[in-house]
A and B are shown apart, each in its own frame.
Chain A
Amino acid sequence: MNSKLTTGPATSRRTFLQRSLAAGGATLFPLIVPAHVLGRGGGVAPSNRIVLGGIGIGPRGRQVLSSIITEPDVRYVATCDVQATLRESVKALADEAQGNKDCATYRDFRELLARPDIDAVLIATGDRWHALASIHAAKAGKDVYSEKPCGLTIGQCQALSDTIRSTGRVFQAGTQRRNVPNFQFAVHLARSGKLGRLHTMHASIYKLEVNTSWLPAEPEPPRDVIDWDLWLGPAPWRPYNRSYVVDRRWRGYYDFDSGAKLLDWGAHTVDICQWANDADNTAPVEYRPEGGTVYARYANGVKLVMRPNGWIGQPTATNGAGNFAVGSTGTCPVRFEGDEGWVETGDNGTVELYPAALRNEWRAFTMRGTDPAQHTREFLDCVKTRALPAANYNVMRHSHIACHAAAIAWQLGRPVTFDPVKEEFAGDEEANRMRTRAMREPWHV
């Protein structure tokens, strides 16, 4: 198959550093590209420039891309999508931003990954593709920024985490709230003991839902317009309907979405709770569903309450205050309660806390929780230094697995017990079967 539609030249940190140190090595690309040819970011030495490609760049992908493409040390040279309209519109956006025509387009991500000049990829496909595309990228030697949820099952998250670790790649999960100041502040209060002994955490989640129906079959469009087989990828086959693809109405479907939608927000909020509880290497051991809420407990006794949006903080008896309006902190709120105080924050930057003395460390937080700017910047820095970013593979693994375990408990409609070391449910065949799902042939992790 040949779906490489256009290509452009590229000079990268990779090719440049390779040559500058390899004596007499073959040169694949012109050695020196004059700064003015590079347009934006021409002031950044080629040795510091990161060459980036994107896979499945939709609305969220564009938000992330627009925060990356404005960095002076980035060149976005390739974009891949199974939809022709999307790959063309992203190319147009990138070319416009970079003042050239260099962004190549691909239908099949494997061809993009085969390009030796690309250092890193941004993956923002639908959830069903995240883990597999990330794994392919890592094996091809690319660093990865992947939107969340990064894996559709516990098994996918394990395989992704293992692959990133063993290939030595830099991986940043798109859980950008790790790099948003008000969330960092709330976590700091919890971890530094300023709330006393932490006992309960609250993580907002989407309303839980599983939809197993199929939309009516429609004729498949030509492959170079929409490649339905590649859109499905590792997901179970079902007949084509444009609504999944063009309208992006795949959320909530058991075959395409993760954990009964719990991970849509849980991947962010549970992740922040894991961090606050210093639990980045573990997960809760008990999960009890009740209505739309899942109550979980860590081995250290700390409780984690996952419940839907429209979430209101519940002040405990010890705090004596806490009457604030619904949603006063915005979307994706988290709340940490200790025996000496509590803190709650969300996407609009507001921080509610008790006692007032905690506010001495507070400052005005203006960055929104949905803003990935600092998160992508950290990723780019780590591509250079090879350090672990904030939402690295290990952080992703445990917070995603915690979410999946909670979603499994909810889907089963009964409590489950989880062993975070073995990453399995204790003597519970039914729950354990739900840890993995087969991938449609020929795909595998």
Chain B
Amino acid sequence: MLALALTGQALIAEARAAGPDPEKTRELVAILQSDASLEARARACQQLALVGTKEAVPALAALLGDEKLGYYARDVLEVMPDASAGDALRTAAGTLPGNARIGVINSLGARRDAQAVPLLKQLAAGPGTNEGALASAALLALGRIATPEAGRAVAQALVRGAAGLRPAAAEACLLAADRWLGEGKRVQALAHFEAVRGAEVPIALRAAATRGAILARESGALDLLIEQLHSPELAMRDIALRAARELRGANVTPALVAELDKLEPALQALVLTALVDRGEPGVLGAVEARAATANDEVRIAAIKALGKIGGASSLPILFEAIQSSRGEIAAAALASLGRIPARDTDAIILKQVATAQSGVREKLIGVLGDRRAESATPELMRLALQNDGETSKAALRALGVVARPDELPQLIRLALAVQEEAAKTLADRAIVTTAMKMIEPERRADAVLAEFRGASDPATKAALLRPLGAIVRSMGGSHEVFFAVRAALKGTAEPVREAALRCLAQWPDATPATTLLALAANEGASEEEREVALRGALRMAADVAGGREVSSLDALECFVQAARVVRTREEKLMLVSGLGSVRRPEALRLLQPYLEDAEVQTEAALAVVQIAPALTGTRSAPALNAALERIAATVKDEDIRRKAARLAKGETAPPAAKKKAPKAGKRNAAVAANANAGGASAGRQVLFNEKNLAGWDGDPAVWRVRDGVIVGGTMEGNPRNEFLATKRSYGDFVLRLEYKLVGTEGFVNGGVQFRSVRVAQPPNEMSGYQADIGAGHSGSLYDESRRKKFLARATDEQVKRLEKPGEWNRYEIRCEGSRVELTLNGERTVVYSEADATVARAGLVALQIHGKCKAEISFRNLEIEELR
């Protein structure tokens, strides 16, 4: 039995055998003849349309008169090649009533059933028609069948038939004639086209016939075409313009060119355009003449045409035209200069630039940009340095288009040399657009960064920070640039420091947040510096807290630090609105004082209301309730008051949302997300998704993802120890990872913390076990910030033999109860048993880059398997 509702490929899959299938046909016919539902029988027909054999014809024929299923049966018969399908349709065409009969006639036409011609002729002429609909259908079927006999019948109907049937007869004549024209039967086709042309039928049909006649005529085609150009009827002129593009023959183009002057301007412009579309030679002279002097309408068409077909001789005409006082003419000429295919155009325009007057010169320079004239770059750079401000600006605009990335050094020097402020902005923009042409996103800042590093003059350094910042904003962040700009903050020159700070404050991601906060807290900072830095940091923290950015930045910690230095109302607003996204008890504590602060009371209240649902039922609930009650009693905004009152009464989120809250559920979701990200097998979790630092905490100014690898520290120098820690703790586990440590100066070292905690002071440090890396200590177990000593060591011989310095090495860390094992590149280096029962048996995993070195550490393939 065939299924009723089929989706996907099933339509055919059930009848996969190529071509008609007798067995399927029998099954489907049985459905047709059963008392199955309408839908089932309609489906059976649609399948028969694809696989039905002639055995299905009688059953289908019986359905043709059915009001609902008649169409479906006809659909099969229309496409079934077997002659018996045609027989059945012809029989039905003689007997069925109304629309069903019209449908059958349409199908006979679609089949181009020559045997139906006598019957269709009768129907086309016969009495008792359904307001002509039946006769019209018969005529159109005859036109489609287009045998000689059918052709005669429709032509006769056009001449002698009822007036009401004339449009249908004309359509039928056109159908037949178009077919014949396509088959090369021009004489036959022409007779029918001419018949329609001379008939009293709607002009759209006469226009179509006229087109056909022009194309079918052996001689006199061109005369007919030109005659139509002069027709008083728009439809005929339109059809002539179409035929002017379609008619082939060597004499057509010259004849149309010769005709131009006899046409009124609007039409002349249109014929000129058609001549260009013909794409034949012998037109340029006529176009150039009209582009130089003519009625405006013709002239504009000619000028536009030069953009497509113009040659060297056209350039002077266009140079002249761009100076026209008529805006439309000048604009058309500029557009054509921008695309004219003439040889050496760029060089000729450049020459013209040298002598052109101010005003025209800038336009021509713009054209060089439109033309992507790369060869013009040196001259454009020279022009950019000219005293004339407008010329300079036009050249800089054009350079933004034509300069190549390999020309960035010259462009940068140019930008440093221009004086005027507006020109400087354009020069910076040219640098940015040129840099953005580089295919490798991470290299887009390279050229400007190299100049920035190489520059010693503070003014130069400060100037370069503008395009550098713009590129970083366009490319979406770069740690390499960040490190360089951060270093510039420590410079002595005031303008450099200020530019660097602004650059960092506008950074496209949260990387500089901690740097900016430190600056904002620095007592030596000016008020302006404090303000710029703090606002930048608060924006970044709010983006991370609000989920608009994935970052390892601890947004709450940022807000804590920011809260110590906020001063103005605007800063407070940024702080409290950002805290509204931090659904933690600490956020509530930070918000509490602002509930008393008239300047931001409302916003602070709103933030409390936002985080309240996450805090109900936690240890902060009493404090929360006190805050909510206070809000409900004091805040001006009625909506917030109402919400606070409701929350205070314990009416929180709907029950469905509450169910999601249990911790275990969250953890499972996190594990699932990790598993999805890395596709690890059950029991193993991927700790790093190779895209971002989701699931990790650390300073994004130190830790980042590069090419799918975690990277910490910089070759420009690491001031202090930094850790990137997991957000959850692990007890017994096997941790596998690969590391690579490269460095040049200082104590080149890093490590992997486990069963560890962050310490309060200094906040960058951690305490706990460390699997050490580098400086000769790889493979050894160190106790960081706690006992501050090696608990067990790999031998020097082992380290020398096992570790590949500066390359990828594999580490395996196994913790089970009191036992800790380290394995480096497949060989166990440490087995340690913890004797001190007070030492924590669970804690964070964290990656370290050591301070006081110029080094970079990388980690990849981090995977943890929890035991038990």
A210:B7 contact, CB within 8 angstroms: yes
Q: Which residue of A lies closest to B20 (CB)?
A: A429
Give which listed residue, B6, B8, B19, B133, contacts A430 with CB less than 8 A: B19
With an 8 A cutoff between CB atoms, is A5 at the interface?
no
With an 8 A cutoff between CB atoms, is A433 at the interface?
yes
Most chain B CB neighbours (cut-off 10 Å) among A141, A359, A412, A441 = A441
B440:A356 contact, CB within 8 angstroms: yes
Give which listed residue, B13, B438, B439, contacts A413 with CB less than 8 A: B13
Dominant secondary structure of chain B at its interface with chain A: helix
Q: Which of A15-23, A82-90, A395-403 contacts B (4 or more CB under 8 A)?
A: A15-23
Q: Which residue of B lies closest to A48 (CB)?
A: B266
A257 to B273, CA, bound (A): 39
A438:B71 contact, CB within 8 angstroms: yes
Question: Hey, which chain A residues are within 8 Å of B72, CB to CB?
Answer: 236
Docked complex: B105-122 residues within 8 A CB-CB of A: 106-107, 109-110
* Known contacts A21-B232, A212-B6, A386-B274, A441 near B207 by CB under 8 Å: no
With an 8 A cutoff between CB atoms, is A247 at the interface?
no
Mask, B200-239, CB within 8 Å of A = 1, is 0011110110011000000000000000000011110011
Question: Hey, which chain B residues are within 8 Å of A441, CB to CB?
Answer: 70-71, 74, 99-100, 102-103, 106
A73 to B111, CA, bound (A): 44
B106:A439 contact, CB within 8 angstroms: yes
With an 8 A cutoff between CB atoms, is A248 at the interface?
no
A364 to B42, CA, bound (A): 53
Question: Hey, which chain A residues are within 8 Å of B277, CB to CB?
Answer: 387-388
Closest beta carbon of chain B to A377's beta carbon, Å: 14
Question: Hey, which chain A residues are within 8 Å of B11, CB to CB?
Answer: 210, 212, 254, 411
* Known contacts A14-B234, A430-B50, A141 near B18 by CB under 8 Å: no
Mask, A14-45, CB within 8 Å of B = 1, is 10011001110100000000000000000000
B266:A438 contact, CB within 8 angstroms: no
Question: Hey, which chain A residues are within 8 Å of B232, CB to CB?
Answer: 18, 21-23, 25
Docked complex: A115-158 residues within 8 A CB-CB of B: 139-141, 155
Closest beta carbon of chain B to A423's beta carbon, Å: 12
Q: Which residue of A lies closest to B181 (CB)?
A: A166
* Known contacts A385-B241, A437-B75, A444 near B137 by CB under 8 Å: yes
* Known contacts A214-B39, A355-B439, A385-B273, A413 near B9 by CB under 8 Å: yes
Give which listed residue, A162, A238, A356, A364, contacts B178 with CB less than 8 A: A162
With an 8 A cutoff between CB atoms, is B372 at the interface?
yes
B202:A411 contact, CB within 8 angstroms: no
Docked complex: A413-433 residues within 8 A CB-CB of B: 413-414, 428-430, 433
A211 to B174, CA, bound (A): 38
Closest beta carbon of chain B to A405's beta carbon, Å: 15
B75:A429 contact, CB within 8 angstroms: no
Question: Hey, which chain B residues are within 8 Å of A439, CB to CB?
Answer: 106
How many positions in chain A have a CB within 8 Å of any CB in the partner chain? Answer: 64
Docked complex: B361-381 residues within 8 A CB-CB of A: 372, 374
Question: Hey, which chain B residues are within 8 Å of A167, CB to CB?
Answer: 204, 207-208, 211
With an 8 A cutoff between CB atoms, is A4 at the interface?
no
Docked complex: B438-457 residues within 8 A CB-CB of A: 438-440
With an 8 A cutoff between CB atoms, is A354 at the interface?
yes
B439:A438 contact, CB within 8 angstroms: no
With an 8 A cutoff between CB atoms, is B242 at the interface?
yes
A359:B233 contact, CB within 8 angstroms: no
Question: Hey, which chain A residues are within 8 Å of B235, CB to CB?
Answer: 141
Question: Hey, which chain B residues are within 8 Å of A239, CB to CB?
Answer: 38
With an 8 A cutoff between CB atoms, is A362 at the interface?
yes
Q: Which residue of A lies closest to B6 (CB)?
A: A212
B81:A429 contact, CB within 8 angstroms: yes
B242:A442 contact, CB within 8 angstroms: no
* Known contacts A141-B235, A444-B137, A436 near B79 by CB under 8 Å: yes
Question: Hey, which chain B residues are within 8 Å of A238, CB to CB?
Answer: 39, 42
With an 8 A cutoff between CB atoms, is A95 at the interface?
no
A23 to B232, CA, bound (A): 8
Question: Hey, which chain A residues are within 8 Å of B13, CB to CB?
Answer: 413
With an 8 A cutoff between CB atoms, is A218 at the interface?
no
Give which listed residue, B9, B10, B20, B433, contacts A410 with CB less than 8 A: B9
With an 8 A cutoff between CB atoms, is B635 at the interface?
no
B43:A212 contact, CB within 8 angstroms: yes
* Known contacts A211-B7, A212-B11, A410-B9, A386 near B270 by CB under 8 Å: yes
A385:B208 contact, CB within 8 angstroms: no
Question: Hey, which chain A residues are within 8 Å of B43, CB to CB?
Answer: 212
Q: Which residue of B lies closest to A162 (CB)?
A: B178
B174:A437 contact, CB within 8 angstroms: no
A318 to B505, CA, bound (A): 42
Q: Which residue of A lies closest to B73 (CB)?
A: A438
Q: Which residue of A lies closest to B170 (CB)?
A: A139
Q: Which residue of A lies closest to B177 (CB)?
A: A166
* Known contacts A166-B178, A386-B238, A433-B50, A438 near B110 by CB under 8 Å: yes
* Known contacts A139-B204, A167-B204, A359 near B438 by CB under 8 Å: yes
Q: Which residue of A lies closest to B208 (CB)?
A: A167
A361 to B439, CA, bound (A): 12
Docked complex: B138-182 residues within 8 A CB-CB of A: 140, 171, 174, 178
* Known contacts A22-B232, A437-B49, A428 near B4 by CB under 8 Å: no
Closest beta carbon of chain A to B401's beta carbon, Å: 6
Question: Hey, which chain A residues are within 8 Å of B273, CB to CB?
Answer: 385, 387
Mask, A178-212, CB within 8 Å of B = 1, is 00000000000000000000000000000011111
Question: Hey, which chain A residues are within 8 Å of B99, CB to CB?
Answer: 441-442
With an 8 A cutoff between CB atoms, is B404 at the interface?
yes
A47 to B242, CA, bound (A): 19
Closest beta carbon of chain A to B355's beta carbon, Å: 29
B140:A444 contact, CB within 8 angstroms: yes
Question: Hey, which chain B residues are within 8 Å of A166, CB to CB?
Answer: 174, 178, 208, 211-212
Docked complex: B47-62 residues within 8 A CB-CB of A: 49-51
A413:B12 contact, CB within 8 angstroms: yes
Question: Hey, which chain B residues are within 8 Å of A211, CB to CB?
Answer: 5-7
With an 8 A cutoff between CB atoms, is B68 at the interface?
yes
Question: Hey, which chain B residues are within 8 Å of A442, CB to CB?
Answer: 99, 102-103, 106, 133, 137
Docked complex: A215-260 residues within 8 A CB-CB of B: 236-239, 254
Most chain A CB neighbours (cut-off 10 Å) among B178, B232, B374 = B232
Closest beta carbon of chain A to B427's beta carbon, Å: 18
Question: Hey, which chain A residues are within 8 Å of B4, CB to CB?
Answer: 213
* Known contacts A210-B6, A386-B270, A388-B245, A436 near B110 by CB under 8 Å: yes
Q: Which residue of B lies closest to A352 (CB)?
A: B439
Give which listed residue, A17, A162, A210, contacts B8 with CB less than 8 A: A210
Mask, B272-315, CB within 8 Å of A = 1, is 01100100000000000000000000000000000000000000
B270:A385 contact, CB within 8 angstroms: yes
Mask, A384-396, CB within 8 Å of B = 1, is 1111100000000
Question: Hey, which chain B residues are within 8 Å of A362, CB to CB?
Answer: 437
Closest beta carbon of chain B to A205's beta carbon, Å: 15
Closest beta carbon of chain A to B185's beta carbon, Å: 15
With an 8 A cutoff between CB atoms, is B789 at the interface?
no
Question: Hey, which chain A residues are within 8 Å of B404, CB to CB?
Answer: 360
Could you write out 12 A-B pairs with CB less than 8 Å apart? A141-B203, A168-B207, A211-B7, A212-B7, A214-B5, A236-B71, A254-B11, A385-B270, A428-B19, A429-B81, A434-B50, A444-B110
Residue ranges of B at the interface with A (Cβ–Cβ < 8 Å): 4-13, 16, 18-20, 38-39, 42-43, 46, 49-51, 68, 70-72, 74-75, 78-81, 99-100, 102-103, 106-107, 109-110, 133, 137, 140, 171, 174, 178, 202-205, 207-208, 211-212, 232-235, 238-239, 241-243, 245, 266, 270, 273-274, 277, 372, 374, 401, 404-405, 433, 436-440
A140-B204, A438-B75, A438-B79 given; name 13 further pairs at CB < 8 Å. A18-B233, A166-B211, A168-B238, A210-B9, A236-B72, A355-B439, A360-B437, A387-B277, A388-B245, A414-B18, A440-B71, A441-B106, A444-B140
Going nearest first, the 7 A-B pairs with the smallest beta carbon separation are A141-B204, A441-B103, A213-B5, A356-B439, A386-B241, A444-B106, A22-B232
